[in-house]
Amino acid sequence: MSNFIKHVQSGDKILLNFFNHKIKCKALDVYMPCITYLGSAVFSFLFCIIAIVSKKSFIHLLGLNCAASLFFSNIAAQILKRNVNRIRPYLALDDLNIKLIGIDKYSFPSGHTTAVFSIAVMISLTFPPITLPCMLLAFSTGISRMYLGVHYPSDVIVGMILGTLSSIIIFVI
């Protein structure tokens, strides 16, 4: 098992270097700090509340489903975060381009990515024609977490999985 973890950590550093250094540019320096907030608690809460109070029943149901997905995926993410206690990359690595944006000290899994995938996948399941833009925004949010130096790629991948699975389960039941 420790060889697997070492392999993942090695790959994490290589991919993090790509997203944090290799694609760095002025346009992304503006875009990434903005897009990262699509996974914030404030955005998630407001999205759900606005959808829930909608007079259109299908939007109301979407809001309820998103709220349920967010609830369960966030519980899973917090359990993992508290048990793994993985230090954020900007605290462990010296050469990162970082932008600190109101975060706790543990990184695994990415809560922002979990949240944005919970919402994006639920929207995609509910309204398939808008899947592509929803998923592009969700992936951008996940990438922003690495670009900003606050998450490793495996943190983001597990967040994607948690948000996606939670939405699929809620949608099916």
Tell me what percent of the residues of the chain surpass a pLDDT of 90.
61
What value does the mean pLDDT take over residues 29-40? 90
Rounded CA-CA distance 153/34 in Å is 19
Closest Cα partner for 164 from 116, 130, 107, 131?
Answer: 116
What value does the mean pLDDT take over residues 37-46? 92
| Statement: residue 52 has pLDDT above 70 | yes
Rounded CA-CA distance 118/159 in Å is 9
151 has catalytic annotation: yes
Closest Cα partner for 33 from 152, 140, 166?
Answer: 140
60 has catalytic annotation: no
What value does the mean pLDDT take over residues 131-155? 94
- Asked whether the whole model's pTM tops 0.85, one would answer yes
- By the 10 Å C-beta count (0-12 exposed, 13-18 middle, 19+ buried), 69 is classed as buried
Domains of the chain: 2-172 (1.20.144.10)
